[in-house]
């Protein structure tokens, strides 16, 4: 089943530019360059990131599909130029020629070796340039458009770091949509001040040892209406769509919906969300979020919760992981591309993006129209048909 909101990215990490084309947006959606730049700046956040984040600016051009600050309903194309291009122009030239040196010591934990074997390359750079998570900048630009649409439908997507290395948030505190700037102001995009301090300490300790750390991010979607996704076919299930989208983020190793893995060890009486009726709001309520706001592959109208875990970055500042030189077949240590200690805070912004794209796509499937006004009309009519008298919960959470 193809997505209603589709996007394609192109571009290499040190190439001239990243490009994203987003197709399926209605006409009339307000979008500015500043908003896209703002989202891209959020992707660069986080203590433990290397100098690349400081000296590589994201130069955004809205190339197509937007006129006078509004989408036209045609494909939107966005370019994110690489300000470092002059340094890389020769090495990454699209014209016939050869690289100045071949990278022949593939890095464990990266796409390098399998990619070289699969595509028949003798230079790991031919793989790593595209495998690099720099590509996520293009996704975030697309996600900015998806978020703009969701905002019009009362849905806000927020993320925060709940574990980094050995440190985790014990309080269970969850940011509302209105708390997002507070999360972004945290050194590690953590909503819990106590955990934040411990996480920064863990990053400093790992940095001292030339090591890296992974962690877990929680993605929350406030205000998503009941009925996104469907039970009728395997590839229409919202949980499946979210899991695939989140798992596609570089270095993500598991995705959990609601209390996921934990519930597997519990009794059924302790693993589900009882339903009640709110007489004032005229809505069904669930006091708990064990199912993460998704039942039978459909959003329930409650808070959507997904947890996304990232492995520690595979490139270490103290190269200790063994590899083999593909030319000599001799044991060696891998070459080192510039690397961070951790990118979990940034991964959270990418996870928000991927969740927003899935939710926006499913919202367009349900409320689809050619103009934003038509989509909003369909959405309002649906809510009215449900008899829902509550303000949209994203608005209640401070987001919509």
Ligand X SMILES: Cc1cc2nc3c(=O)[nH]c(=O)nc-3n(C[C@H](O)[C@H](O)[C@H](O)COP(=O)(O)O)c2cc1C
Best CA proximity match to 359, nearest among 178, 220, 174: 220
Return the residues of window 303-322 that contact ligand X according to CB under 6 A: 313-315
Which parts of 348-367 interact with ligand X (CB under 6 A)? Answer: 350
Q: Which two tokens stand for residue 292?
A: 């993460």
The full DSSP string for 250-274 is TTEEEEEETTHHHHHTS-GGGTS--
Q: Which two tokens stand for residue 350?
A: 């990418």
Does the protein bind ligand X through residue 105 (CB under 6 A)?
no
333 touching ligand X, by CB under 6 A: no
Nearer to ligand X, 131 or 271 (CB): 131
Backbone dihedral region for residue 47 (phi beyond 0: left; psi -120 to 50: alpha; all else: beta): beta
Q: Taking CB under 6 A as the rule, does residue 53 contact ligand X? A: no
Q: Return the closest-CA partner of residue 31 out of 61, 4, 55.
A: 61
In the complex, the smallest distance separating the C-beta of residue 203 from ligand X, rounded to whole angstroms, is 13
Q: Is 347 in the site for ligand X (CB under 6 A)?
A: yes
Strands (E), 66-214: 66-67, 70-71, 76-82, 156-164, 167-168
Choose between 139 and 383: whose C-beta lies nearer to ligand X.
Answer: 139
**Per CB under 6 A, which region of 118-126, 131-139, 222-230, 389-397 contacts ligand X?**
131-139
Under DSSP, the state recorded for 27 is B
In the bound state with ligand X, the residue whose beta carbon lies nearer, of 107 and 286, is: 107
Stretch that binds ligand X, among 18-26, 79-87, 105-113, 179-187 (CB under 6 A): 105-113
Site string for ligand X, 235-274 (x = CB under 6 A): --------------xxx-----------------------
Note whether 216 binds ligand X by CB under 6 A. Answer: no
How far does Cα 44 stand from its chain's mean position?
A: 13
Our CB check for ligand X shows the closer of 283 and 323 to be 323
The Cβ of residue 242 has, within 10 Å, a number of other Cβ atoms equal to: 28
User: Which residues would be at the binding site for ligand X (CB under 6 A)?
Assistant: 109-111, 131-133, 136, 249-251, 313-315, 339-340, 343, 346-347, 350
């Amino acid at each position: 089943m193809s997505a209603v909101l589709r996007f394609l990215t192109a571009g290499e990490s040190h190439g001239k530019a990243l490009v994203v084309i987003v197709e399926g947006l209605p006409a009339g959606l307000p979008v500015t360059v500043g908003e896209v730049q703002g989202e891209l700046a959020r992707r660069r956040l986080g203590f433990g990131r290397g100098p690349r984040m400081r000296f590589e600016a994201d130069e955004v051009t809205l190339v197509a599909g937007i006129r006078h600050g509004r989408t036209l309903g045609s494909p939107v194309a966005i370019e994110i130029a690489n300000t470092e291009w002059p340094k890389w122009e020769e090495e990454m030239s699209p014209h016939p020629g050869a690289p100045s040196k071949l990278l022949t010591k593939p890095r464990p934990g990266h796409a390098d070796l399998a990619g070289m074997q699969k595509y028949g390359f003798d230079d790991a750079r031919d793989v790593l340039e595209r495998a690099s998570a720099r590509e996520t900048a293009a996704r975030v630009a697309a996600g900015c458009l998806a978020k703009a649409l969701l905002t019009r439908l009362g849905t806000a997507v927020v993320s925060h770091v709940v574990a980094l290395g050995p440190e985790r948030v014990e309080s269970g505190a969850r940011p509302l949509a209105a708390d997002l700037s507070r999360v972004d102001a945290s050194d590690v995009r953590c909503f819990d001040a106590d955990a934040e301090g411990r996480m920064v300490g863990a990053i400093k300790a790992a940095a001292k040892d030339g090591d890296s750390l992974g962690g877990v991010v929680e993605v929350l979607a406030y205000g998503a209406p009941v009925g996104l996704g469907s039970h009728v076919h395997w590839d229409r299930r919202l949980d499946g769509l979210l899991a695939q989208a989140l798992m596609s983020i570089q270095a993500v190793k598991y995705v959990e919906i609601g209390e996921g893995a934990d519930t597997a060890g519990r009794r059924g009486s302790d693993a589900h969300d009882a339903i009640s009726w709110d007489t004032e709001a005229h809505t069904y309520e669930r006091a708990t979020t064990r199912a993460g706001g998704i039942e039978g592959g459909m959003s329930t109208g409650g808070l959507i919760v997904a947890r996304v875990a990232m492995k520690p970055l595979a490139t270490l500042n103290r190269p200790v992981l063994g590899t083999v030189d593909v030319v000599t077949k001799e044991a060696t240590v891998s070459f080192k591309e510039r690397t961070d200690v951790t990118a979990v805070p940034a991964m959270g912004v990418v996870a928000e993006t991927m969740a927003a794209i899935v939710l926006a796509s499913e919202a367009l499937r349900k409320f689809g129209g050619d103009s934003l006004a038509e989509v909003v009309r369909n959405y309002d009519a649906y809510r009215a048909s449900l008899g829902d008298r509550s303000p949209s919960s994203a608005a209640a959470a401070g987001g919509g």
